[in-house]
Structure 1
Amino acid sequence: MSDDAGLQALREAARLSPDNLPLRQHLAGLLLAKGYLADAEAEFRAALVLAPKNPDLTAGLAEAFVRQSAYGPALAALEPLLAEPGYPPRLGILAARALIGEGDMGRAAYRYFEAINRDASLVDAELATRLTPGGPGSPWPPAAAPPAASPPQVSPPPPSAPPPPASPAAPPLYAAPAMAGQQPVAGGPATRESTSEVERAGLTFADVAGMEAVKEALRMKLLLPIQQPDLFAAYGKRAGGGVLLYGPPGAGKTHLARAAAGELGAAFVNVGLADILDMYVGSSERNLHATFDLARRNRPCVLFFDEVDALAGRRSDMRQAHTRQLVNQFLAELDGVDQSANEGVLVLAATNAPWYVDGAFRRPGRLDQPVFVPPPDQAARAAILRILCRDKPLAEMDFDAVARVTEHFVGADLKGVVDRAVEAKLQQSISAGRPIPLSTPDLLAAARTVRPTAVREWMATARNYVMHANDSGAWDELMPWVKGKW
């Protein structure tokens, strides 16, 4: 697989975003379709950790097993779903193939005929021939009791017809879900529509605790030109533009982007890596163009790119020409085909590693305003806790006391504290038979069991760039943070 640059790019994207289920499922399906069975098996297993009962993932894993002649593991993977009523019929076809491999022709016939009785499009002439008593190469006795549903009668080929091949390649029962307009592997890419979805955010800046400087920067750069167009037009400022949000993981960059869209009442398009990256050369660029077109048709619109360093990395670090071309396409879309092309399209991009983003994105008119999203201070942590607890039964709370003992916690860490406290309180409430209000000691006890995630590590990396790779002054904003208590 070392010569397949498209798959290598997807694998790198999956490595950078290990919890991105659609991306892992997409990669697993492509690996299976191209015959990299062991790699496909590993990716399906990883995806099933994220979605244990997903029938599509189970079908993919079972097909990878069957094609490797691992019939026992295939049946073990399928059996929990086959025991449930209304399971997808294609799982029955896969079970039939595995059972044939195990030599259990009677159960294989039951599974096959039961499946095609529910979905006639799954009829497989080769399987039917092998499972029909007296068919070529299948000397097995018919089952003593047929299944309750009468299977359709499949006649063996007439004597004059040539016999079917002994072991034809079985048609795949798993297909990677269509992502970013993905076409079947055997075919080529085509003109497509973006698979990103237009949302209406239910959040506003009132739902974002602290970060007043960040909110003010977003208001001036993105929101006010749309809310007060005449005033900004007098100074020649158009509604639109881009902001690069950067900071440690879990600090609330995605939450802030949704709140910006809600504050404006604009459409919100959250773009994932799987919506853009494609195994075909040139298709990723078309997907990116389709995504910008979607935002332009729904203006005013906030177009949000998370983990943007995976799409806008430094071209000097890239070995493949087609990956550099994706960066060029991104820059062209930000510029627009004319001055008004992106008017009303507000581009927000977020990254934990701004130093890996190509410097051309910081040119005026693109993502020209990097905005640092810092870890919350004590007052912000108390405000975050108030927001997280506002819909829960509460006793008298001292959020400031909890904020004092959660230094270096970001928003994601504080949510983990609240979730643990709620779980413990739910156990007490179940035993008591009534809701018991959440209290300050509950949050303090939960805070002692949660460790802050990656803030210290992120600040250590940031310190290296600020102190030793900041000749341009791009990271001066971080200087007070890295020279302080971090």
Structure 2
Amino acid sequence: MDPLLASLRAAVAAAPEDSTLRLHLAGLLLDAGEHTEAVGHVAAVLGREPGHAEAGALMARALNPAPPPEAPTTPPAFDWAAAEAEVGDVVGPRFAPEGEGDAEPIAVGPPRGGGRFAVERPDLRLADVGGMDAVKKRLEAAFLAPLRNEKLRALYGKSLRGGLLLYGPPGCGKTFFARALAGELGASFLAVGIHDVLEMWAGNSERNMHDVFLAARAAAPCILFFDELDGIAQKRSAVTGGVLRQVITQMLSELDGVSAGNEGVFVLAASNMPWDVDPALRRPGRFDRTVLVVPPDDEARRAILDLHLRERPVENVKLRTLAARTEGFSGADLAHLCEVATERALLDSVSTGTARMITQDDLLAAAAELRPSIGPWFTTARQVALYANTDGTYDELATYMKKHKLL
């Protein structure tokens, strides 16, 4: 507290009728920003002397404080030369000199056709997929055998028209199998997802679909793989907008050229919900062959676990025991299990201050904690196998579910 103000307050309290003393205190209070107390003192004087000039002036000052000084409206000029000198060794010059060494002009807009999509050459083979012999046999019969044996294909009149649809629960390796098929054939591999095709602007989605096939033709022999086909080509009866309808029409047009314009282009697709795919795409000459990709069997689970633990610090892990405890887990579930076990060992190492290896106990604890993620898929698939399989499309699914007591 200001000592002067404290002394004046005490003096006013001792001589409340002294108007001069009270107004002097009010003026100092206003200077200190204590407007409420100052108004009280001035009001006391005006109550006794309504026409007191000095009191009236102080009251006006208290009730109408002067506005704070305005900030300058014009900011100081920015020193661009100093700023450029400061970052000159970090940021290059704004403009390059003309003449020798000029770069090629950059095209405006996204590249179209073959340059837009990433084409790869997988070095995978079906032999690299552990277990899953039943799936491999179906792929061999439905896809690889006709392609490998040209003379037998001619003898039996087997056409190469049409595509192959891989379906099954999520996270069970449909894309992995598609890459392995490309490796078996020594073909290029072009994977296309929903975001590569669908756009909000009218006409762009159809053009994207055309460009996908252009890229595959340019890379022939090529496996053109559509992931999540049910998202790209959903049943038109369930589609409210016009974009998806046009995309499906464009896709049908491109597929119907498999025997001619698509020479060397082998079309595959994957779907978790094949029953949601537009029926027109399932007709002969299109995606007329299906292969069910089921959850990994015991041998496949050992291979997947070995893959995900190979680069981690593990100790005394028994893959056979672990595989037996994870029946019904998808490949994605097994990868997550390894992550959970790793986190368990990591957190324990942090809490104890001593790094330790990932052990069998960590993996078994993670297996006990997690549940297979594919249960909801089989719940839906059961309804399909029971009530939507009049044409035998899902016989393979029904057989698998009966064998594993899911139907």
Letter in 1 for 2:388: A
Aligned pair in 2 of structure 1 residues 402, 299: CA closer, same or farther (>3 Å)? same
- Structure with max Cα Rg: 2
Aligned pair in 2 of structure 1 residues 144, 320: CA closer, same or farther (>3 Å)? closer
Aligned-partner Cα distance in 1 for 2:148–2:351: 52
Shift of 1:283: 2.1
User: What's 1:142 paired with?
Assistant: 76
User: What's 1:252 paired with?
Assistant: 173
Aligned-partner Cα distance in 2 for 1:193–1:387: 33
Aligned-partner Cα distance in 1 for 2:282–2:179: 22
Shift of 1:307: 0.8
Equivalent pairs: percent with the same residue?
47
Letter in 1 for 2:237: S
Aligned pair in 2 of structure 1 residues 331, 141: CA closer, same or farther (>3 Å)? closer
| Deviation readout 1:352-400 (Å, 9 max, x if unpaired) | 1111111122222211111111122334323322333344454443212
Aligned pair in 2 of structure 1 residues 471, 219: CA closer, same or farther (>3 Å)? closer
Q: TM-score, normalised by structure 1?
A: 0.57
Aligned-partner Cα distance in 2 for 1:429–1:260: 42
2:398 matched to 1:479? yes
8 Å CA contact retained: 1:194, 1:290: no
Aligned pair in 2 of structure 1 residues 237, 448: CA closer, same or farther (>3 Å)? same
Segments of structure 1 that go 5 or more residues without pairing to the other structure are: 1-105, 107-137, 152-176, 182-190
2:339 matched to 1:419? yes
8 Å CA contact retained: 2:162, 2:284: no
Letter in 1 for 2:280: A
User: What's 2:360 paired with?
Assistant: 440
Letter in 2 for 1:341: G
Aligned pair in 2 of structure 1 residues 192, 252: CA closer, same or farther (>3 Å)? closer
Q: Return the match for 1:344 from 261, 264, 270.
A: 264
Segments of structure 2 that go 5 or more residues without pairing to the other structure are: 1-70, 86-107
Shift of 1:279: 2.1
Aligned-partner Cα distance in 1 for 2:213–2:386: 37
| Deviation readout 1:240-296 (Å, 9 max, x if unpaired) | 641111111111111211222222221111102121112232221121111111111
Q: TM-score, normalised by structure 2?
A: 0.68
User: What's 2:305 paired with?
Assistant: 385
Aligned-partner Cα distance in 1 for 2:342–2:384: 40
Quote the RMSD (CA, aligned, Å).
Answer: 3.2
Aligned pair in 2 of structure 1 residues 294, 418: CA closer, same or farther (>3 Å)? same
8 Å CA contact retained: 1:307, 1:352: yes
2:256 matched to 1:335? yes
Q: Secondary structure at the match of 1:448?
A: helix
Between the two proteins, the alignment pairs up a number of residues equal to 313
Q: Which structure has more RCO (C-alpha within 8 Å, separation ≥ 6)?
A: 2
Aligned-partner Cα distance in 1 for 2:319–2:84: 66
User: What's 2:9 paired with?
Assistant: none
Shift of 1:310: 1.5
Aligned-partner Cα distance in 2 for 1:409–1:287: 36
Shift of 1:343: 2.9
Aligned-partner Cα distance in 1 for 2:358–2:365: 12
Aligned pair in 2 of structure 1 residues 381, 229: CA closer, same or farther (>3 Å)? same
After superposition, residues 274-285 of structure 1 pair within 5 angstroms as 274-285=195-206
Q: Secondary structure at the match of 2:301?
A: helix
8 Å CA contact retained: 2:113, 2:215: no
Aligned-partner Cα distance in 1 for 2:118–2:353: 42
Q: Return the match for 1:287 from 205, 208, 222.
A: 208
2:150 matched to 1:229? yes
Aligned pair in 2 of structure 1 residues 146, 331: CA closer, same or farther (>3 Å)? closer
2:379 matched to 1:460? yes
| Deviation readout 1:181-207 (Å, 9 max, x if unpaired) | 6xxxxxxxxx76562210122322233
User: What's 1:357 paired with?
Assistant: 277
2:240 matched to 1:306? no
Q: Secondary structure at the match of 1:139?
A: coil
Aligned-partner Cα distance in 2 for 1:194–1:356: 31
